[in-house]
Amino acid sequence: MFDVSQNQRERAVLVGVAGRGVSRYETDDSLDELALLAETAGAEVIDRVVQERARIDATYYIGRGKAEFIGALTGEQKIDVIIFDDDLSPAQAKNLGELMSRSNQLSEAKVIDRSGLILDIFARRARSREARTQVELAQLRYLLPRLTRQWTHFSRHVGGIGTRGPGETQLETDRRLIRSRIRHLEKEMEKIERQRDTRRQHRHEIFKVALVGYTNAGKSTLLNALTGADAFVEDQLFATLDPTVRAMPIGDHRNVVLIDTVGFIRKLPHHLVASFKSTLDEVRDADLLLHVIDVTHPTFAAQIDVVNEVLKELGVAEYPRLHVFNKVDALQEKGQIDRLREEYAPAIFISAQRGIFLEELKARIAAFAASETAEMDIDLANSETEMLAKLHTLGRVIQTEYDGDNRVHVKVRASQANAQKIKHLLAQNNDHHTVDATLVARE
């Protein structure tokens, strides 16, 4: 969405609204984060404007007078882009753009909202085929209701005789092309999701730990520190989009799988969550969530609330969770650790960058995996190959012994949930007298 050369950064002004159930402090804090987003996107923040309003203006969001003031400001400050901290309706974005153009005769500044800015950053960060597909799909869904004549470049995808209906305008052609592209990308995402499901099947019997948290909390740094991985790390918002999966040994010749996921942020666009469904499904597939928190951030409590809301939206709010307070070495008030440990139990305090208390974290993960895992000794007939295949699917077969009586003794390690499924399958088969099995679970 931005067209920024390497030698020139776009000049931006930020716009927020306070007084509609949101305090001025909260608005200023949100604008601070918006400034970081703008800088990540390659813009230079020149000024910010806060409007005190009890109600949002349906036509201009901030009211006509304030919109004209910002329009004049863009001319004086040579502003290239005006970024609103909340989502604008398509009509509001259109009205603001037209009004500000009339107020500023010197130049025409672009008007975008927070979702548009986040999507631009995601487009810059996308590296893999999956991430690029998800970002393009989210961008097109965002763009479609906001389409105006300025987007006629989409017509380059087709051309010539027979490509337009009788009397069809260029705008209608563009909309049709975008809808067609969205359908194509949705089919691509279905293929990608099937491929990801296949990869998950291979990790079905392994204890999986998903790293979740606010963007820039240090998840990728922690993944690298725990596993020796080389995940990309940068002190910017949304440094990585693709989930990174790495194994971490926990002793007794066992591994757990760590999964680094895209960071969350306040006012995360719903269509972005929908487009990144297959990536976020990695969180749903986890046995344990490590909620990584930047304990030095002045509003980390609000960030925790944001993450909790997103996890609730994903349907994983009740999953087992360990709060991992990162950057404890830079914490000024050490006295608040006891309070946080009690308030957010279970919790641990570490420094991923300096390796402080990482061994303790590994021990906590190993203990959690052990408590959530059952070992079972199962006695089957050799002919029950289908049941044996299901054991490989639902758990990890760690020992198989055949005797001379056409019997096979299997030792299986599985999660508690899958152990219950195995028990249920064995009980069903016993009811039908197809399997003679005995089960001993060490839980």
For the stretch 245-279, pLDDT in tens is 888 988 766 788 898 887 888 887 666 676 666 66
Structure tokens at 294: 């930047």
Q: Give the per-residue pLDDT at 88.
A: 92
Q: What dotted CATH number matches 10-112?
A: 3.40.50.11060
Domain 373-442 has CATH 3.40.50.620: no
Structure tokens at 138: 């989210």
Residues with Cβ within 8 Å of 187's Cβ and at least 6 positions away in sequence, in order, are: none
Q: Give the per-residue pLDDT at 61.
A: 94
Q: Give the per-residue pLDDT at 40.
A: 87
> pLDDT tens digits, residue range 183-230?
999 999 888 878 877 766 665 567 889 999 998 899 989 999 998 866
**Helix, strand, or coil here: 245?**
strand
Cβ atoms 152, 170 nearer than 8 A:
yes
> pLDDT tens digits, residue range 369-427?
888 777 888 988 888 888 888 888 777 777 888 887 788 888 887 777 778 888 888 88
> pLDDT tens digits, residue range 123-139?
887 777 887 888 888 88
Domains 202-370 and 373-442 share a fold: no
Fold exhibited by the domain 202-370: Rossmann fold (3.40.50)
Tell me how many degrees the CA angle 265-259-422 measures, rounded to the nearest 5: 125
- Structural domain boundaries in the chain: 10-112, 126-156+167-197, 202-370, 373-442
**The model scores a pTM over 0.85:** no
**Helix, strand, or coil here: 97?**
helix
Helix (H) / strand (E) element for 422: namely: helix 416-431
Where residue 431 falls among pLDDT bands split at 50, 70, 90? very low
In 203-267, alpha helices (H): 219-227
